[in-house]
Structure 1
Amino acid sequence: MTSGLTSAEVTERRRDGRSNDIPDRASRSVSDIVRANVFTRINAILTVLLIIVLATGSVIDAMFGLLIVANSGIGIVQEIRAKRTLDALAIVSAAKPSVRRDGQVSELAPNEVVQDDVIELGPGDQIVVDGDVIEASALEVDESLLTGEADPVHKTEGTHVLSGSFVVSGSGAYRATKVGGEAYAAKLADEASKFTLVASELRSGIDRILKIITYLMIPAGLLIVYNQLFASGESIRPALNGMVAALVPMVPEGLVLLTSIAFAVGVVRLGKRNALVQELPAIEGLARVDTVCADKTGTLTENGMRVSDVRVLAGDRSEVSHALAASAAADPRPNASVAAIAEAYDEVPPWTQTAVAPFSSANKWSGYSFGENGNWILGAPDVLLDPTGDVARTAEALGSSGLRVLLLATSDDSVDAPSAPGAVTARALVVLEQKVRSDARETLEYFQSQDVVVKVISGDNAVSVGAVAGSLGLDVGGDAVDGRNLPDDRDALAAVLDTSTTFGRVRPDQKREMVAALQSRGHTVAMTGDGVNDVLALKDADIGVAMGSGSPATRAVAQIVLLDNKFATLPYVVAEGRRVIGNIERVSNLFLTKTVYSVILAFLVGVSGPLSQLFGFDPLPYPFLPRHVTIAAWFTIGIPAFLLSLAPNNERARSDFVGRVLRLAVPSGLIVGSLTFVSYLLAYAGPDASAAQKTQAGTTALITLIVIALWVLAVVARPYVWWKIALLAGSAAGYLILFSVPVLRRFFQLDPSNVSATTSALVLGVIGAVGVEIAHRVARRGRVSSSSGSLVRS
């Protein structure tokens, strides 16, 4: 056996730059995060408007500038916290190759590997750098992550292995030939672990909305600028203040802020539950999951097992015990079943191993030849024997109670012969007990309550899988389906999946096909697993969830890694995704309603300038000061949106985000903007009005706007719970205080003393609230009809 490099040789290679020294994680630097949050389009617009207001000497009217600090500060703090959590968790979950140095084997971080290092391989190990095989014992490598080919590739001494692939079966060692940026692993890591908000329906939808808003802002902004600066006859200071007051609320700064941090906050929350999010779009995908495919072993049951019984079928019990002990001891990387046998039979006989056939999920058996002591096979009874025979039926009966049963058999052929296993003779049934996870039942009940369908898919005996699922209260929908009887046609497979819940003896390629079949029926699929046989399905599922104790390969391809191995964490993961996406949609209605009514009001006021030149009437100045715009958003959008974004939300995310938001925001904004303008027209006393009359007219319009906007908030906050009712009451109370306390009235230039104007403002506000309610019910009826149509089509 090659002893590997010496310490001196390792030092030399590091000095020469021949090390695998690549960043542990391609997360953004702190400076990148600061730049991304400070230098934004919205901050730029607000900064220009802030400079204009400050140039007039009105510091009070520049309060909206605090939005620049809030936009940048909150985003920076949350993203840095998320970065630190992601980086720390990534280090915990990183795959560590076993490297030979100075004749010793030790686990190292991937970036500590140097060129010419000798790295050992076993089932489930990820190949972290490129190299050449120098030792091989039935070594099979899955290169599907690189080539897309699902079939394992047999590797012998002298063949090449690529980083990014993983070992399916067998064992061996390879010498590193390409490290650092030259290896495939570096490129894969760079692409897979960047801290970035990649394209998603939510973000692309918001981008579309912002593009529409930009098109609306340009003509409305030009009109208001012309009206304020040229047509209204206002002096420069009130003209500029009115222009800024019209333009500031058109910018949905809060929506962009909440969207920017929503994913990062979700990642931080999940990190506190030991759930590592490796791809941030998983946060959105989790909100859309309607089907969970759960592996039995390691997910519903504990990985550890114990031998509960050995039923000798032929021969001497002592010989059976020796065969079990020798076979278990000969396995360099035992799985849970073999480890349990090794623990129960620790007195190893002095048998000499002459051939080996490592276990693979495709064959369902492993074997060892011990010369004159025989050829021993250990595997699935229903695979090695006639399923209709007495022994196979006995094994199935034991498996139906949730036990795992292995057959110990002998063969006339050497286990490495092409014809292996050949004709086998049953020698004993090894009965092992699996421990069901204590949190499995509660987790399955959660999914059922949330209308998420659970499919249990396992490589174990189908009857055993069904027994475990049934013991956890899962509606198994009839007998468990044997994977060997599944159809190859995708449509036929999808039909079976629609009617059945539990599946056994499923091959890795079948798991992948089952995920694809579910997706073909419009399902959003999450796949959980911990073994090598789950990798292909995890990779293709909408959301792959791996256990932290699982193989490095499963952790590498999964979007979510449950580092504490708790299946019960998954409901929190799903709930967090729903909370983030559902709440972003909810508060989007508030921000976009404000944008729409700001554009409408600016357009109506602005168009009065050109029209006044044509028809000879006096143009209207903008009714609000920038401070009015600021307080209008305090209790109808700002504070409520923050609280609503943190609220529980278990609604399953739906498609057509833009359509649903605009169906409420556009009519609501039209109602608010047009009735606010009418209220202002009724109260406006003309260009010769006194300063007090102008303040009263602006206050009247503001009252109408606030009343209707509060009802928009009441609609968005549904369904009501005690704290939402308190939120609505607190928002209304906040405005009552602003309008009733004299010092606050003077500070914000509010004058509701004109009883007739204030009364008309309240009446128009109530009319607007009724209009918003009608628009909401029409939009809701449209959503229901659309959803029903989608269900019929699917």
Structure 2
Amino acid sequence: MPAATRVDTPGPRVPPRSGRPAYDNGPVTTPGDATLTRPDGLTSAEVADRVARGAVNRLSERTSRSIGEIVRANVLTRFNAILGALFVLVMVTGSFADGLFGIVLVVNSAIGIVQEYLAKRKLDQLALLNAPTTRVLRDGEVRVVATTEVVQDDLIELRTGDEVPADGVLIASAGLELNEANLTGESDPVPHAEGDEIMSGTSVVAGSGRYHAQQVGADAYVNRIAADARKFTRTRSEIQESINTLLRYITWVIVGALPIAIWSQWRTVGDQGWREVVIRSAAGVVGLVPEGLVLLTSVAFLLSAVQLTRRNVLVQQLPAVEGLARVDVVCLDKTGTLTAGEIAFEDAHALEGQDADEIRCALGALADDPNANGTLTAVAAVVGPPGWERTQTIPFNSSRKWSAACFAGRSTWVLGAPEVLLAADPQPSPPEVLDRIRAQVAELADSGRRVVLLARSEAHLTDATLPADLTPAALVTLTEQVRPDAKDTLAYFAEQDVAIKVISGDNPVTVASVGRTVGLDVGEPVDARTLPDDEDALREVLATHTVFGRVTPEQKRAFVHALQADGHVVAMTGDGVNDALALKDADIGVAMGNGAQATKAVAELVLLDGRFSHLPDVLAEGRRVIGNVERVANLFVAKNAMSLVAILAAALIAVPFPFLPRHLTLVSAVTIGIPAFFLALGPNQRRYLPGFLGRILRFAVPSGAVAGVAVITAYLLAGSSYGVPRDQFADRCAVEAGAKTVTDVACWQTGSGATITLLTVFFWILVVLARPFRLWKGVLVGAMVGLAVVAFVWPFAARFFNLDAPLPLVWQSLAIGAAGAAVVEVVYRLSPSVRQAHHLRD
């Protein structure tokens, strides 16, 4: 069979370059065809046949919910059920104006459905564009297809960085090594030879190979094991956890308050008929339902994700937007993050006694590799192949940090990290020669160059073990281009008190040089090979140092664990397979769009254009979501607390609930619903502070209780001087069957007074939560006050909402509301954590 090609799009097969090992396919038995022996893979007709049979590698994971699930999630909720039942009961009374909250219920659900559907379309399109792909041979051509389009018996080609998409048996291997940590928990690469069985869910860390897909889709091993590390894990969201906890509390409050509300209203207004009892009880319970809180939280997440897609950031899990805002340590891989990720060959410095021409030929021969790593690819761009015949390949591995090749009639050549090759035992070169070489390496690395050592041996390698006669031959220097936006990005993180840890597999001196270029205070760089395995000792080193070089993939993972154990929220960026495990275990994994598929598969965020400078945008979006959701949650919880206090107080002193449902609809609209929508989507640069739920409860519950006490006070005082005497209320103010409103305006006055007081207190809560003030916030609050005034002074609106307040009653109710607002201000000032959160806002 011809050698593996480097074709990434459908097209004619390319003959192998000199020195490349050829694959030789023998007969392979698969479940699909008993004697599939063709070396050119399936034909298009055979692929179509397998698709028709369902033998396709389609997985159950989806990028978003289906339309049906979106509708159910936004409609079939416990609070919608409560509000829906109350709406039906109020409609039965004939008081349609008091059922206005039902319209709000429908609008909220509709907005949630539409917003999530639009976001779903956008995210699904992006996920499709960035879906994992697999190389297959079909009709004699190497083609790149979506992993989900792989069919049973497909001939699959694997290269470094690829994920194994299906189960099968290798028919060819060129130094293939797989990371099987997802299946076994062991992170050491496992070599695989021809005839070995390989499993889906693993990834290629070195070498290349070909095999026929035997088990695909649901039959693949990775989809049949329960404890698979590749299994989807949801990013932790403090907001969602807190909101869910809050909703559980509120549900139990409603369960306890509902019978109290019905009983107390039956006692106080039962003589006016069952309709009045239903309306007053419904008003109390409606106030306990945070009908828009979940909607606005979801909308904030979704719109943030869509906004980030416009900046080439794919959010694979919505809570990741919030998660990055909680991050206080970012671990960066130098290559591909601080630098452009593409290195250029600069020169080969022949060591004493070595022939420069032979060294250049050796570099060209090493680079003439179908599975060349980044270093050899850079060399191949400058140095052509000399035509040597390759007889053995030891592919590069990030753990051992070297690669090698044997050539017929010539020396074996090894290329790798100088520290590793110079430490080979035994070492034939004299110690003083090794010291001079180390000094040259340090000098070149100090200048910011990347340095690798080329060494030779006369031994023929049979495995990944350095030969005993390894002799240094040349120092190869490469240069990296620092990203132009890296310095500003790191400066932004420094301003936001986010610590930076540069973790690289390169020479620590080289990494430190790049760090200084981008403005980092690098301190003393650390060679990771000297680090202890003990986590406590590692935590101490990480706390005092910034730059780490020669870090292995296992150590990157250990770094993440150690930082998390020290109480940090960790983000990890990377683009290579060696970063995949660390990205998986970090709180937030950020992959580069040009990175390996295995890396992108486990990341929560993918920077589609590979620009590290997008991270401040994500951080800002996350902070906006956290700060704004906290604002609106305070508004909703304060209303819930007010309603509970009013229900309990009305039951205790045996008075009607102060409001009709239409009153609370008005108050909710102008002090909570409309402002919350704008506040949830507005700018907010508040830094993250832990304790989301605690701050809400410390401010919203006492503030809402203050509002409830003020409302009952205003209602009682209004009833003593205004309105209709209690003995006439049943005759003049009861709701008749089919009546849309009560025509005697005197019946409206006590509730109007309570509504004015509630508006006053809640407008002040809104002012507190909108701090620090900006012009747009002032306009928003002013517009809401204007709408409230219109509801009282416009005859049509006043009749619709049953509002009538003589001027003395207005002043009386405003005074009580002002007193309540003053207490709210005291509550705010006595809550240091709440004030601190406000001082850090936009």
TM-score category (smaller protein):
over 0.9
Query: Which residues in structure 2 correspond to 1:300-449 (within 5 Å)?
Result: 300-313=338-351, 314-329=353-368, 331-346=369-384, 348-385=385-422, 389-416=435-462, 419-449=465-495
Whether the aligned pair in 1 keeps the contact of 2:42 and 2:155 (CA below 8 Å) is no
Instruction: State the match for 1:53 in structure 2.
Output: 90
Amino acid across the alignment from 1:183: A
Give CA-to-partner distance per residue, 1:2-44, whole Å, 9 cap, x none. Answer: 3143314434444444332446736321122112211222222
Whether the aligned pair in 2 keeps the contact of 1:221 and 1:602 (CA below 8 Å) is no
Whether the aligned pair in 2 keeps the contact of 1:684 and 1:693 (CA below 8 Å) is no
How far, CA to CA, are the matches of 2:437 and 2:233 in structure 1? 56
Q: 1:661 aligns with which of 696, 711, 715?
A: 696
How far, CA to CA, are the matches of 1:119 and 1:304 in structure 2? 28
Matched, 1:741 2:794: yes
Relative to structure 1, is the Cα distance of residues 707 and 26 closer, same or farther in structure 2, using a 3 angstrom cutoff? closer
Q: 1:256 aligns with which of 281, 285, 294?
A: 294
Amino acid across the alignment from 1:750: L
Identity among equivalent positions (%) equals 48
Whether the aligned pair in 1 keeps the contact of 2:230 and 2:602 (CA below 8 Å) is no
Relative to structure 1, is the Cα distance of residues 191 and 367 closer, same or farther in structure 2, using a 3 angstrom cutoff? closer
Instruction: State the match for 2:42 in structure 1.
Output: 6
Amino acid across the alignment from 1:397: E
| Secondary structure of the corresponding residue to residue 346 of structure 2 | strand
Q: 2:561 aligns with which of 516, 521, 530?
A: 516
Whether the aligned pair in 2 keeps the contact of 1:458 and 1:505 (CA below 8 Å) is yes
Whether the aligned pair in 2 keeps the contact of 1:25 and 1:90 (CA below 8 Å) is no
Deviation at residue 189 of structure 1 after TM alignment: 12
Relative to structure 1, is the Cα distance of residues 608 and 515 closer, same or farther in structure 2, using a 3 angstrom cutoff? same
How far, CA to CA, are the matches of 2:460 and 2:774 in structure 1? 71
Instruction: State the match for 1:585 in structure 2.
Output: 630
How far, CA to CA, are the matches of 1:89 and 1:418 in structure 2? 41
How far, CA to CA, are the matches of 1:219 and 1:354 in structure 2? 80
Q: 1:544 aligns with which of 586, 589, 593?
A: 589
Relative to structure 1, is the Cα distance of residues 684 and 188 closer, same or farther in structure 2, using a 3 angstrom cutoff? farther
Instruction: State the match for 1:675 in structure 2.
Output: 710
How far, CA to CA, are the matches of 1:196 and 1:530 in structure 2? 20
How far, CA to CA, are the matches of 2:90 and 2:235 in structure 1? 37
Deviation at residue 92 of structure 1 after TM alignment: 1.8
Instruction: State the match for 1:616 in structure 2.
Output: none
Instruction: State the match for 2:117 in structure 1.
Output: 80
How far, CA to CA, are the matches of 1:239 and 1:413 in structure 2? 96
Instruction: State the match for 1:137 in structure 2.
Output: 174
| Secondary structure of the corresponding residue to residue 359 of structure 1 | strand
Relative to structure 1, is the Cα distance of residues 767 and 434 closer, same or farther in structure 2, using a 3 angstrom cutoff? same
Instruction: State the match for 2:652 in structure 1.
Output: 607
Whether the aligned pair in 1 keeps the contact of 2:449 and 2:477 (CA below 8 Å) is yes
Whether the aligned pair in 2 keeps the contact of 1:25 and 1:190 (CA below 8 Å) is no
Q: Structure 2 length normalisation: TM-score? A: 0.87
Instruction: State the match for 1:703 in structure 2.
Output: 756
Amino acid across the alignment from 1:401: S
Whether the aligned pair in 2 keeps the contact of 1:700 and 1:752 (CA below 8 Å) is yes
Q: 2:323 aligns with which of 259, 263, 285?
A: 285
How far, CA to CA, are the matches of 1:195 and 1:64 in structure 2? 39
Instruction: State the match for 1:614 in structure 2.
Output: none
Deviates more, 1:597-606 or 1:160-169: 597-606
Instruction: State the match for 2:5 in structure 1.
Output: none
Deviates more, 1:166-175 or 1:729-738: 729-738
Q: 1:38 aligns with which of 39, 50, 75?
A: 75
How far, CA to CA, are the matches of 1:193 and 1:49 in structure 2? 46
Amino acid across the alignment from 1:157: E
Whether the aligned pair in 1 keeps the contact of 2:235 and 2:587 (CA below 8 Å) is no
Query: Which residues in structure 2 correspond to 1:177-196 (within 5 Å)?
Result: 177-186=214-223
Give CA-to-partner distance per residue, 1:92-118, whole Å, 9 cap, x none. Answer: 222211112333221122222222222
Whether the aligned pair in 1 keeps the contact of 2:394 and 2:405 (CA below 8 Å) is yes
Instruction: State the match for 1:222 in structure 2.
Output: 259
| Secondary structure of the corresponding residue to residue 390 of structure 2 | coil
How far, CA to CA, are the matches of 1:51 and 1:655 in structure 2? 41
Deviates more, 1:511-520 or 1:258-267: 258-267
| Secondary structure of the corresponding residue to residue 272 of structure 2 | coil
Query: Which residues in structure 2 correspond to 1:776-787 (within 5 Å)?
Result: 776-780=828-832
Give CA-to-partner distance per residue, 1:135-160, whole Å, 9 cap, x none. Answer: 12222111101121111112112111
Whether the aligned pair in 2 keeps the contact of 1:24 and 1:91 (CA below 8 Å) is no
Instruction: State the match for 2:501 in structure 1.
Output: 455
Instruction: State the match for 2:12 in structure 1.
Output: none
Amino acid across the alignment from 2:676: A
Query: Which residues in structure 2 correspond to 1:548-587 (within 5 Å)?
Result: 548-587=593-632
Deviates more, 1:421-430 or 1:354-363: 421-430
Instruction: State the match for 1:724 in structure 2.
Output: 777
How far, CA to CA, are the matches of 1:194 and 1:463 in structure 2? 38
Whether the aligned pair in 2 keeps the contact of 1:24 and 1:111 (CA below 8 Å) is no
Deviation at residue 419 of structure 1 after TM alignment: 4.3
How far, CA to CA, are the matches of 2:795 and 2:220 in structure 1? 71
Relative to structure 1, is the Cα distance of residues 261 and 292 closer, same or farther in structure 2, using a 3 angstrom cutoff? same
Whether the aligned pair in 2 keeps the contact of 1:367 and 1:375 (CA below 8 Å) is yes
Deviates more, 1:350-359 or 1:123-132: 350-359
Q: 1:502 aligns with which of 540, 547, 553?
A: 547
Deviation at residue 740 of structure 1 after TM alignment: 3.2
Amino acid across the alignment from 2:75: V
Give the unaligned 5+ runs of structure 1. 610-619, 786-794
Deviation at residue 511 of structure 1 after TM alignment: 0.6
Deviation at residue 733 of structure 1 after TM alignment: 2.9
How far, CA to CA, are the matches of 2:237 and 2:509 in structure 1? 41
Query: Which residues in structure 2 correspond to 1:135-174 (within 5 Å)?
Result: 135-174=172-211
Give CA-to-partner distance per residue, 1:664-710, whole Å, 9 cap, x none. Answer: 11111110001110111111044046744432221111111111111
Q: 1:472 aligns with which of 508, 515, 518?
A: 518
How far, CA to CA, are the matches of 1:110 and 1:116 in structure 2? 14
| Secondary structure of the corresponding residue to residue 825 of structure 2 | helix
Relative to structure 1, is the Cα distance of residues 17 and 64 closer, same or farther in structure 2, using a 3 angstrom cutoff? closer
Deviation at residue 71 of structure 1 after TM alignment: 2.1
Q: Give aligned pairs, total.
A: 772
Whether the aligned pair in 2 keeps the contact of 1:81 and 1:268 (CA below 8 Å) is no
How far, CA to CA, are the matches of 1:536 and 1:211 in structure 2? 36
Relative to structure 1, is the Cα distance of residues 369 and 194 closer, same or farther in structure 2, using a 3 angstrom cutoff? closer
Amino acid across the alignment from 1:38: V
Deviates more, 1:149-158 or 1:680-689: 680-689
Deviation at residue 436 of structure 1 after TM alignment: 0.9
How far, CA to CA, are the matches of 2:534 and 2:635 in structure 1? 48
Deviates more, 1:234-243 or 1:139-148: 234-243
Amino acid across the alignment from 1:89: L
| Secondary structure of the corresponding residue to residue 175 of structure 2 | strand
Deviates more, 1:289-298 or 1:132-141: 132-141
Whether the aligned pair in 1 keeps the contact of 2:828 and 2:834 (CA below 8 Å) is no
Deviation at residue 547 of structure 1 after TM alignment: 0.7
How far, CA to CA, are the matches of 2:755 and 2:47 in structure 1? 74
Relative to structure 1, is the Cα distance of residues 782 and 125 closer, same or farther in structure 2, using a 3 angstrom cutoff? closer
How far, CA to CA, are the matches of 1:135 and 1:435 in structure 2? 37
Whether the aligned pair in 2 keeps the contact of 1:164 and 1:188 (CA below 8 Å) is no
CA RMSD of aligned residues (A): 2.5
How far, CA to CA, are the matches of 1:124 and 1:241 in structure 2? 65
